[in-house]
Copies of this chain bind each other. A is one copy, B any other.
Amino acid sequence: MTQASPDPALIEELVLANKILFRQNVVDAFGHISVRHDKMANTYLMARHLPPGMVTAADIVTFDLDSNALSHQGMPYYSERFIHGEIYKARPDVISVVHCHARPLIPFGTAKGARLRPMYHMSGFLAEGVPVFEIREAGGMTDMLIRTPELGKALAACLCDKPVVLMRGHGATMVGKSIRQVVFRAVYTAENAVLQMDAHRLGENGEVEFLTAEEGRKADGWGRSVDRAWSLWKDQIMGAP
């Protein structure tokens, strides 16, 4: 495969996204974000095996959609890179993918009968429904990780056409049309989980008035908000006064 170099601005945005996800507590030492290559749609870009908060431009590897490394060969990679490759195969509309173990999301994927639903306009995208991936159905008894293309395909099938999928006993995966959108979705999916947990405790019989499907769809429209949040998060990383 002849390789075209990605736009350096895309690499820069991906590095920044890694640091923002760490700063916003979406990832700790674990989790990762990828972006589809801007010039070769059948490849994607993601860091080598590193904590997201420590990623630099020199650490960005190019992978094909089978998640074979086309650069940085022989280095350790994230064992769960198949999450990314298989979603890019199944979802041509997806440009960026986040996988994380964000604290507020684990209980929603693990408590029996729990269902993550949109509390407010910031997370209207959740109104489409949030599936929960049970790895036992696809892989039986595992170490919970998406270590193979088969498990990646099963996860992508569970995600279906939605923006977010929870993973039982593991974490969550989000997708978006851009790095900024998927980071925004990751932050506000986690924030929504915090809010929803408290709302169930407060409501009579645990009842909560969620956004309807229509409210959620309408609230998901505003790209300007994604840029507004990004400008703040970038500012925090860059250390502006």
Copy total for this chain = 4
Q: For A232, what are the chain B residues with a Cβ–Cβ distance below 8 Å?
A: 28-29, 51, 53-54
Q: Apart from A29-B233, A107-B119, A113-B203, what 11 extra A-B contacts exist at CB < 8 Å?
A: A107-B201, A110-B119, A110-B203, A110-B209, A111-B204, A112-B209, A114-B202, A124-B144, A142-B215, A144-B218, A200-B201
Please choose the segment from A36-44, A67-75, A220-228 that sits at the chain B interface, where 4 or more of its residues have CB less than 8 A away: A220-228
How far, in Å, is A81 (CB) from chain B's closest CB? 14
For A126-153 the 0/1 string (1 means CB < 8 A from B) is: 0000000000000001111100000000
Point out the residue from B107, B141, B195, B205 that lies within 8 Å of A103, measured CB to CB.
Answer: B195
Contact with B along A191-231 (1 / 0, CB 8 A): 10011011111111101111110110011011011001101
Measured between beta carbons, the chain B residues less than 8 angstroms from A212 are 141
Of A7-15, A58-66, A167-175, the stretch lying at the interface with chain B is: A167-175
Q: Is the CB of B169 within 8 A of A209?
A: yes
Q: Is the CB of A76 within 8 A of B107?
A: no
The verdict on A23 contacting chain B, using a C-beta distance below 8 Å, is no
Asked if A49 is at the interface (CB within 8 A of a chain B CB), the reply is: yes
Check B107–A198 contact: CB distance below 8 A.
yes
What is the total number of residues of chain A having a CB less than 8 Å from a CB of chain B?
68
- Which B residues lie within 8 Å of A200 (CB)? 111, 201-202
Contacts of A214 in B (CB 8 A): 141
* Shortest distance between the CB of A212 and any CB in chain B (Å): 7
CB distance from A21 to the nearest CB of B (A): 13
Show 30 A/B contacts (Cβ-Cβ < 8 Å), sorted by A.
A30-B122, A30-B225, A49-B228, A51-B228, A54-B231, A54-B240, A101-B120, A103-B195, A104-B198, A106-B195, A107-B199, A107-B201, A108-B202, A110-B119, A110-B120, A110-B195, A110-B199, A110-B210, A111-B198, A111-B204, A111-B207, A112-B203, A113-B203, A121-B169, A121-B170, A124-B143, A142-B218, A143-B221, A145-B219, A200-B201
